[in-house]
Homo-oligomer: A and B are copies of this chain.
Amino acid sequence: MKIFVYHTPELVPTQSLPDCAVVIDVLRATSTIATALHNGAAGIRAFADLEELQQTAASFALGTCLKAGERGGKGVPGFEMGNSPFEYTPERVTGKRILMSTTNGTRALQAVQKTTVVITAAFINLGVVRNFLKQEEFQTVWLVGSGWEGSYSLEDTGCAGAVAWELGEPGNDETVAACALYGQWQGDLLGLLKQASHGQRLLGLGCLEDLKYCADAGRLNVLPRQNDEGYLVGTYL
């Protein structure tokens, strides 16, 4: 298994696809996605365009879907849900479809959406992602960080390193570096998130508890996996 890390969706090759793509947006889309599915959401679909999200929401029967959005770390007016995992309680999400649009995570999902197997990873479901990759016999796996508006992000690359750690063979230089990053910080993931510029931005918005939660490696055993309709649904190994 060859593992390729891409720091941002913009760096993903456009002429080929891997056997499996792993989308990572630790702060906070993929942490939130894992939480929502763990808490009983029926499925989550990412939209780049807020208009298209609104139109899709209108096609659902009342009370069966939730609009979730974030722009620059803050909620979208008129949407029921933001991007904090704490909002996605069983009371609110059980059985619901969630239509989501976030600043960075959506772009990463869209960059690889045609891959046969698309899953999402965060620190909180790290173990199940690693077990899945160990179990399957993929030739090539891409780990795609969401970054921040096209820029490198420490937490996504750190999480990519955690997924790739002692698993398979590095496919590119980024994978070697991501593993070194995780190697240094694996004992202090909260410290890594606090050091990250995006983490500092969220701390400025009063989201310390979110950071603590997102740094809690292996807390959930749900594997979000894209189905034929483009929804991420919760699977368990």
Whether, in the assembled complex, A195 has its beta carbon less than 8 Å from a beta carbon of chain B, the answer is yes
Instruction: Return the contact of A176 from the options B11, B172, B176, B195 (Cβ within 8 A).
Output: B195
Whether, in the assembled complex, A213 has its beta carbon less than 8 Å from a beta carbon of chain B, the answer is no
Q: How far is the CB of A218 from chain B (nearest CB, A)?
A: 21
What's the tally of chain A residues with a CB closer than 8 Å to chain B? 23
Q: Which residues of B contact A176 (CB under 8 A)?
A: 154, 195-196
Task: Describe A's contact surface by its main secondary structure.
Answer: helix
Within 8 A of B (CB), among A171-219: 172-174, 176-177, 180-181, 183-185, 195-198
A185 to B152, CA, bound (A): 21
Given contacts A152-B7, A183-B184, A177 and B157 within 8 Å (CB-CB): yes
A residues at B contact (CB < 8 Å): 7, 11, 151-154, 157-158, 170, 172-174, 176-177, 180-181, 183-185, 195-198
